[in-house]
Amino acid sequence: MATIQHKNYMQPMQIRVDKFIASIKHIFNSVGELLVSAIIAICAFFAPAKLNFYAVGVLVAMDIITAFLAAYMQNKRNSDSVIAALLKTWGGWTSKRAFDSVPKLVWYSGLIITAFIIGEIFDSAIKGANLATGIIAYIEIRSILENGDKAFNTNTAQLLADYLTKLLPKK
């Protein structure tokens, strides 16, 4: 007695689909590796300016902390208790105000990157990045001092002028 063999006509199609899916996976894997290697190359190019990015990040963080401190101290002068001042400060400190530091970091990083690239084109890349960091540091330190003046009801510029007149002899 002869046996009848049923041929599965879908099996070659399944093999083709599996091969197609495997090819797509390999393509995505290759693109992912390409992107990772491009990111590593970009990071290696900007590695000399790493300390500039860290310094700007620290200055922006100090600016945020001193701004919160200034708002708290102003509310503390006008409130009866420390808790009331803290709650008033927390209520006034909106997420938008805290979020303002994110675009600031993006713009500052862009400025450092641009200065680094321009410095690379003309003379020395790190000199351009240092110049940009110096300008940013001036802006942020000035803001930190203004926040300190608001927090402690002082005038830092006047205090510095008084100190220098006492320190330097008059002729």
- Per-residue pLDDT at 97: 62
Would residue 3 count as lying in a domain? no
Quick: pLDDT tens for 24-71: 999 999 999 999 999 999 999 999 999 999 999 999 999 888 888 888
Is the residue at 145 inside a domain? yes
For residue 154, what are the domain limits?
Answer: 48-167
Residues 15 and 65 placed together within one structural domain of the fold: no
Residue 44 neighbours by CB under 8 Å, 6+ apart? none
What are the DSSP E strand ranges found in 57-155? Answer: none
Q: Closest Cα to residue 69, out of 54, 100, 90?
A: 90
Residue 148 confidence (pLDDT)? 86
Distance CA 10, CA 15 (A): 9
Are 14 and 92 in a shared domain? no
* DSSP H or E stretch at residue 69: helix 50-78
* 25 and 106 in a common domain: no
Both tokens of 165, joined, read: 């007149």
Q: Are residues 55 and 94 in the same domain?
A: yes
Q: Are both 18 and 54 inside the same structural domain?
A: no
What is the per-residue pLDDT for 9? 61
4 assigned to some structural domain: no
Q: What is the mean pLDDT of residues 141-146?
A: 89
In this predicted structure, what is the pLDDT of residue 1? 55
- Say what the pLDDT of residue 140 is: 92
User: Is the model's pLDDT at 11 over the cut of 80?
Assistant: no
Task: Spell out where the chain has E strands.
Answer: none
Does one domain contain both 66 and 114? yes
DSSP 8-state symbol, 49: G
Residues 57, 109 share a domain: yes
Tens of pLDDT, residues 84-143: 887 877 776 765 666 678 888 899 999 999 999 998 888 888 888 999 999 999 999 998
Which tokens sit at 131?
A: 């110049």
In this structure, is residue 5 part of a structural domain? no
CA 131 to chain CA centroid, nearest Å:
18
- Count of domains forming the chain: 2
Report yes or no: 140 and 63 within 8 Å, Cβ to Cβ. yes
For residue 86, is it within any domain?
Answer: yes
Confidence band of 150 (pLDDT split at 50, 70, 90): confident
Looking at residue 35, its pLDDT comes to 96
Tell me the Ramachandran region of residue 3: left when phi exceeds 0, alpha when psi lies from -120 to 50, beta otherwise: beta
Please say whether the beta carbons of 116 and 128 come within 8 A: yes
Query: Same domain, yes or no, for 19 and 57?
Result: no
Residues 55, 59: Cα–Cα separation, whole Å: 6
